Structure 1
Amino acid sequence: MLEIISLGIVPFLILIILSHGYIKGVDIYASFIEGAIEGFKTVIKIMPYLIAIFIAIGIFRGSSALDMFTHLLSPITQILGIPNEIMPLILIRPISGSGALGVVKDTIGYYGPDSFPGVVASVMMGSSETIFYTIALYFGSIGVKDHRHTLKAALLSYIISIFITIFICGIFYN
């Protein structure tokens, strides 16, 4: 039953949108074209921000900076109870979603999906955001240069989520 619903939900939503537009007398095709033009303008406007963040991610992943940070922070992470196996994910997740996905793939491939590092990496990947990419994308699209408290609040919530993820996974894993 659930499979039938999932197969029919997108066509149903499209039918609802088209019907509503027709009933309201909206020129649906013209509205679609206008929205596509606005979307293209937004893409052009945020392109420099995206290029900058992708270059930074490439430099970070290509150099040995990730390994260096992991090794440098290992005494602190051992005191805090953070497994060294997930430190690369903790460092790369706020910067790059695809980079973090690669780290999760490597973690699960090496330790296994049912291992503690595999479980923590999976939960962390599913419950955290690429902070710098998101800020660059959203603020860049509307032209905001000063992100004020957004970055501080996002990083604070990310740090708290790391400890909560490890704690909760520790409860269910043991």
Structure 2
Amino acid sequence: MDYVIKSIIPIVIGLIVIYGMKNGVKVYECFVEGAKDGIGICVKIFPYLLAMLIAVGVFTDSRLLDAFINLVRPVVKIIGLPPEVVPLVMVKPLSGSGALGVFTDILKRYGADSYIGLVASIVMGSTETIFYTLTVYYGAVKIKNIRHTLWAAIFADLTAIIMAVTLVRLMF
């Protein structure tokens, strides 16, 4: 069974190539054109990605994150969110890799099976890198007015955080 599971992607790719050849499509040329388009997209996305990475670095290195955590500590206690998880909640909308680093630190300090570790695990899996995603994808297609996307994404993340606390309390 393991062999079949590992073979699914190569089989699907092979079927696509065979289907294309059967219908007279120049498969290799189409692949090369797609790769050229992909590189063009990477070039368009790079400035937005670089700006976001610099902003995350400045926010973290300037200790603004620590100040913000101290400011919101009373509020997060009301919903039951451990203050130790606040850095993850703050970094996750900005940077997936930064959030992974914070998440790893939380698990090393408090353990994966602790209340803090369980809440952090659910938050990590159920929230999105909102600002990174908006910056990269809207920037790539040159959309400047994101309208309600940001507020909907923030509301979805807040819902995920509240549900993480609720689920851990109910199930563990």
* Shorter-chain TM-score above 0.5: yes
Classify the secondary structure of the residue corresponding to 1:35: helix
Q: Indicate the residue corresponding to 1:93 in structure 2.
A: 92
CA distance in 1, matches of 2:163, 2:100: 20
In the other structure, the counterpart of 1:103 is 102
Which residue is equivalent to 2:81? 82
Q: How many angstroms does 1:5 deviate by?
A: 2.2
Give the SS at the match of 1:94.
Answer: coil
Pairwise CA distance, 1:62: 1.6
Range with bigger deviation, 11-20 or 98-107: 11-20
- 1:20-169 counterparts in 2 under 5 A? 20-169=19-168
Question: RMSD of aligned C-alpha atoms?
Answer: 1.0
Q: CA deviation at 1:63?
A: 2.1
After superposition, give the CA deviation of every residue in 1:6-45 in whole Å (9 maximum; x if it has no partner).
2111211111111111112111111011111111111111
Counterpart residue identity of residue 111, structure 2: G
Q: Return the offset for 1:4.
A: 1.7
Q: C-alpha separation between the residues in 2 aligned to 1:5 and 1:116?
A: 38
| Displacement over 6 Å in runs of 4+ | none
For structure 2, which runs of at least 5 residues remain unmatched after alignment? none
Residue identity opposite 1:14 in structure 2:
I
SS at match of 1:143: coil
Taking the aligned partners of 1:137 and 1:16, their CA distance within structure 2 comes to 32
Task: State how far apart, in whole Å, the 2-side matches of 1:47 and 1:19 are.
Answer: 35
Following superposition, the deviation at residue 110 of structure 1 comes to 0.3
| Residue type at the aligned position of 2:132 | Y
Counterpart-to-counterpart distance in 1, 2:54 and 2:34 = 29
C-alpha distance in 2, partners of 1:120/1:81? Answer: 10
Residue 8 in structure 1 maps to residue 2 in structure 2: no
CA distance in structure 1 between the aligned counterparts of 2:91 and 2:77, rounded to whole angstroms: 19
Q: What 5-or-longer segments of structure 1 have no aligned partner?
A: none
Give the CA deviation at 1:161.
Answer: 1.2
Normalised TM-score (structure 1): 0.95
**Distance in 2 of aligned mates of 1:79 and 1:167:** 12
Number of residue pairs matched? Answer: 172
Give CA-to-partner distance per residue, 1:113-133, whole Å, 9 cap, x none. Answer: 111111111111111110001
